[in-house]
Structure 1
Amino acid sequence: MVPRVVFGRGSFNQLNDIIAPKRLSSHAPFIFLVDDVFKGNVWLTSRIPLSYQDKILYISANEEPKTSQVDELVEQLILTNKELPSGIIGIGGGTILDLAKAVAIMLTNTGNASDYQGWDLVKNPAVYHVGIPTISGTGAEVSRTTVLTGPERKLGINSDYTPFDQVVLDPELTKDVPKDQWFFTGMDCFIHCIESLNGTFLNAFSQSYGEKAYDLCMEVFMDDALSAEDSQDKLMMASWHGGMSIAYSQVGVAHAMSYGLSYLLGTKHGIGNCIVFNHLEEFYPKGVTTFKNMMRLHKIELPQGICASLDDHHFDTMIDVALSLEPLWENAIGKHWKKTITRDKLKALYQKM
């Protein structure tokens, strides 16, 4: 679990007080990985507390994070600094937060990031790392995984060393998120809840968080009388609770199949989850119905026909990626999931998208 968290509108202003005691020396900088959408945004960037040799690295979130990108960032930091950084601070959405977690891990572990894709493969604690989400829904701020696209698969670095040491939850930072992005990323949280609450791994701990996240999502996406500030506050806490729920259970069919879309087509995670979930009435009938009602209420149109031009080789690649995520299928279907989840079944689902 994340050991320290600050929540509140304007809490971003406390960042210097939070990280200053963690500085190792004047030659050990803090590295701020910031979504490049904020480049030139003085309202945010002027409040980043830079001292000594601290650096801001602006990172594009237009593509899903890759293991090769992590390796390049780690090499850059090692070559340009006399000492290991005092800390890595990620400021952005799920892409930036996952990169921050992965870089923090790889600064203290040998080899390539792809070597650690899987469960509990990390041997050494990461450097101090802080997560500051600027969009709500992914749960990346709380999860013990950093989801990366590698040379062979899309899979997280899942370990006890992955979670942030500190998270700052400031709902004001989400105020300028475009509506479509707000919806698709928020639906990542909603789908977390559905998959967790309907999974075979469900327990009292994950259920308590999942139910609260679900209720908050229903308020945010179904109550059109909610003020903008209340919506920002509640969705940020829904993301936190949804992330906590899946940390103690697991996600399911939508995430397994969306990983295939992301690996082959580069489909962004939130949109990919929505595209897949839209066709999963067989697995989550009530959740899919609610999801479609939310789309109608907010006038959201999903991309259509993204798999229309794919050949059998492409479908096989996506199916391979999806089927490799065995814990997700076991949570969704049960221990004997391989009896019902066939390659033909997955291909037929992908062909609908």
Structure 2
Amino acid sequence: MIYKNFPMVSRVIFGRGSFNQIEEILSPKRLSTKAPFIYFVDDVFKGNAWLTSRIPLSYDDKVIYVSTAKEPETSQIDQLVEQIILDYKELPSGIIGIGGGSVLDIAKAVSIMLTNPGESKNYQGWDLVKNPAIYHVGIPTISGTGAEVSRTTILTGPERKLGINSDFTPFDQVILDPELTKDVPKDQWFFTGMDCFVHCVESLNGTYLNSFSQTYGEKAFSLCKEIFLEDTLSEEDSQDKLMMASWHGGMSIAYSQVGVAHALSYGLGYLLGVKHGIGNCIVFDHLEEYYPDGVAMFKEMKAKHNIKLPQGICKNLSDKEFNIMIDVALSLEPLWENAIGKQWKKVITRDKLRTLYQKM
């Protein structure tokens, strides 16, 4: 048996107000006065002095605000990389992502593509990256995606929605400051938190399960139950614990995989532009056949927080559009093998997937 030697985030700081230590953390990593730090910041924070005034800009450092109206695309990554190469004579000292999963994925992807030739679409898949990324830092402002700890960066390309999964993708440094999540809207808090919950359900019920992933998954699952079903936590405690649930949920799939919900959600995201968190919720709501206990608990959480999911988003799709989503979902073979087993192709047919999509 050959075991995969996965990398992890090498440095992490946790605590309310830890964002204030960013200059202390970054300063030793500056390569020269001509090698800037580039900050990718969710544009929801544009004009928000409470956060942006604390970003320590020196020399040629730059803040680039990015819209998260759509999830990251390979063309967007390529444009950002080209912009940085044209604007600066030297490679940046580091790339810092401040935002939700999409912004963190952009930061990871740009840091990889600055040192690897060609277009980012050519690196969608598993272990295709050959050269180490430049120094990159993740600072989540919403909890649940696990993007801060994962070895993937999810991108929509011209042919597929698929991550750059590599040993060079994980951040070199993560700053976990739960205070940064204080203004997240209720629906977004729920959808992103459910991304974490679904990570746990898929990992704990998968054929790839082992004690490493199980330990992290069980802790994240327990935290999600406490946060979304109990009324014992203060707002600050809930923020702190959801940030740690996200971390543990991401770690639970580092040595295993996700499953049916994520595979189908990628299809919705690719064709319809449905965001990852809400896409997982729309799909998971119909997966009693695969995760009966998890789906029952999800429905309980949904009712408790009065969450209404979009209905009928697939009802007017053509045969061609259904086939596009099915192709995307079926391309994610490790997810299906984790969910069903090595013989998954005998069970997961195109008709089966179409029937599931038609329910959404």
TM normalised by structure 1 equals 1.00
| Equivalent position of 2:341 in the other structure | 334
**Residue 225 (structure 1) shift:** 2.8
Q: Which amino acid is 2:153 matched to?
A: T
Query: Which whole-Å CA distance do the structure 1 matches of 2:202 and 2:210 have between them?
Result: 13
1:33-69 CA-to-partner distances (Å, cap 9, x unmatched) read: 0000000000000000100000000000111100000
Q: Are 2:18 and 1:11 equivalent residues in the alignment?
A: yes
The one-character-per-residue Cα deviations of 1:62-118 (angstroms, maximum 9, x if unpaired) are: 111000000000000000011000000000000000000000000000000001000
Q: Does 1:139 align with 2:157?
A: no
Match of 2:131 among 102, 124, 127: 124
C-alpha distance in structure 1 between counterparts of 2:215 and 2:181, whole Å: 26
Alignment partner of 1:188 out of 186, 195, 218: 195
Matched, 1:248 2:236: no
Q: Distance in 2 between matches of 1:50 and 1:212?
A: 38
The answer to whether the aligner puts 1:109 opposite 2:121 as a matched pair is no
- The structure 2 residue matched to 1:291, chosen from 291, 298, 303, is 298
Partner of 1:204: 211
* Aligned residue identity for 2:229: M
Q: 2:79 aligns with which of 31, 49, 72?
A: 72
Identity %: 78
Correspondent of 1:169 among 172, 176, 180: 176
Quick one: distance in 2 between partners of 1:25 and 1:249?
A: 40
2:232 paired residue number: 225
Letter in 1 for 2:256: S
Residues of 2 paired with 1:85 and 1:265: CA distance?
A: 35
Question: Is 1:267 paired with 2:267?
Answer: no
Counterpart residue type for residue 77 of structure 1: I
Name the residue aligned to 1:235.
242
Provide the secondary structure at the position in 2 that maps to 1:309: coil
| In structure 2, C-alpha distance between the alignment counterparts of 1:107 and 1:273, rounded to whole Å | 31
> Any gaps of 5 or more consecutive residues in structure 2?
1-7
1:80-91 equivalence runs, <5 A: 80-91=87-98
Q: 1:267 is paired with a residue of what secondary structure?
A: coil
Letter in 1 for 2:127: D
- The residue identity in structure 1 corresponding to 2:121 is S
Distance in 1, matches of 2:71 and 2:64, equals 17
Q: Which structure 1 residue ranges, 4+ long, deviate > 2 Å from structure 2?
A: none
Cα separation, 2, equivalents of 1:189 and 1:319: 24
Task: Determine which of 105, 108, 114 is the counterpart of 1:98.
Answer: 105
Counterpart Cα distance in 2 of 1:219 and 1:55:
40
Counterpart CA distance in 1 for 2:254 and 2:285 is 24
- Structure 1: state its 5+ residue gaps: none
Letter in 1 for 2:263: A
In 2, Cα distance between equivalents of 1:312 and 1:60: 32
AA in 1 matched with 2:131: N
Residue equivalent to 1:152? 159
- Report how many residues are paired: 353
